[in-house]
Amino acid sequence: MAKLDESLLRDLPPFSQLSKGQIRDVLDQASSKRYDPEAEIFREGYEADRFYLLLDGHIRVVRTTPEGEQIIALHIPPGQLFGIAPALQRDTYPATAFTATETLALSWPVRLWEPFVQTYPGFATESYKTLGLRLDEMQTRITELATQAVERRVAAALLRLVHQSGSQVEDGLEVAFPITRKHISEMTGTTLHTVSRLLSAWEKVGTVKSARKRIVVTNAHHLSTLSGIEC
């Protein structure tokens, strides 16, 4: 890991309270790997042998229902830990992680989780804060699936994506990684046909623009009105 500079971690919340020497120690115990798009990093239910830090790219977190359907539970942006099964007191991964883009990640053996938590209080505080935010988001998603009409769910999903991972382009806010209508259907518990119908209708009124694996929100206020989420 000598080629990786301490500045890679210095400004990331789990490591922001560590000294340069402590960050060097953390890096010296890590492995670095680059993944192609749509690669599986780990699988739901398998032994959690490593935890990860996303340096570049985006991760899709996918859960499988008892009926065998795949639901996209979360998208994880750069700079965050993932695969942190020990924080949930689990020895298996609770979901499957796929790369949404070409991805660079660091990872550590899971046996180092407890020493990191005990040695670096800031690491523990920020890691559990991130976990809490993810659990809150998943609870919100579950509530939406149980109580909200499909149009509102899809609008909320798109707005959440551009809030978390949007980049400014000429026409509006573009989701910063490839995303298909099938992905959106898996995020919102609806059919591909329904997502296609809604996106086509919203394109006609100038709310979104979509192409192959690309979505731009051109009128976030309209999605806000539909979803009930403030811009």
Q: Which residue has the tokens 């020990």?
A: 86
The verdict on residue 2 lying in a domain is no
Report CA 77 to chain centroid distance, whole Å.
5
Does 47 share its domain with 141? yes
**Phi and psi, residue 32, nearest 5°:** -115, 140
Does 50 share its domain with 122? yes
Q: 119, 145, 171 — which closes off a domain?
A: 145
Distance CA 132, CA 65 (A): 22
Tell me which of 130 and 29 has the higher pLDDT: 29
Distance CA 25, CA 107 (A): 14
Above 60 in pLDDT, residue 137?
yes
Q: How many domains does the chain have?
A: 2
Question: Residue 3: what pLDDT?
Answer: 66
Question: Residue 1: what pLDDT?
Answer: 47
The verdict on residue 78 lying in a domain is yes
Does 118 share its domain with 12? yes
3-state secondary structure of 164: helix
Give the structural domain span for 23.
Answer: 7-145
Q: 107, 128, 145 — which closes off a domain?
A: 145
Q: 120, 145, 170 — which closes off a domain?
A: 145
For the four alpha carbons of 40, 44, 49 and 50, in that order, the dihedral sign comes to: positive
Does 127 share its domain with 154? no
Above 50 in pLDDT, residue 180?
yes
Mean pLDDT for the stretch of residues 101-130:
91
Does 166 share its domain with 189? yes
Above 90 in pLDDT, residue 231?
no
Does 163 share its domain with 219? yes
Does 114 share its domain with 168? no
Report CA 227 to chain centroid distance, whole Å.
20
Are 104 and 41 a contacting pair, CB within 8 Å? no
Distance CA 76, CA 97 (A): 10
> Which residues, 6+ apart, have CB-to-CB distance to 172 below 8 Å?
209, 216, 217, 218, 219, 220
Helix (H) or strand (E) holding 212: none
Reported as a pLDDT band with limits 50, 70 and 90, residue 220 is very high
Q: What is the pLDDT of residues 47-92, one digit of tens each?
A: 999 999 999 999 999 988 888 888 898 899 999 999 999 999 999 9
The verdict on residue 1 lying in a domain is no
Mean pLDDT for the stretch of residues 138-145:
79
Above 50 in pLDDT, residue 187?
yes
Question: Lowest mean pLDDT: which of 82-86, 97-101, 126-130, 192-196?
Answer: 126-130
Q: What is the pLDDT of residues 117-128, one digit of tens each?
A: 999 878 888 888
Does 71 share its domain with 129? yes
Does 131 share its domain with 174? no
Q: What is the pLDDT of residues 152-167, one digit of tens each?
A: 999 999 999 998 888 8
Does 177 share its domain with 69? no
What is the CATH number for 126? 2.60.120.10
What is the CATH number for 184? 1.10.10.10
Are 29 and 108 a contacting pair, CB within 8 Å? yes
Q: Give the chain's mean pLDDT.
A: 90
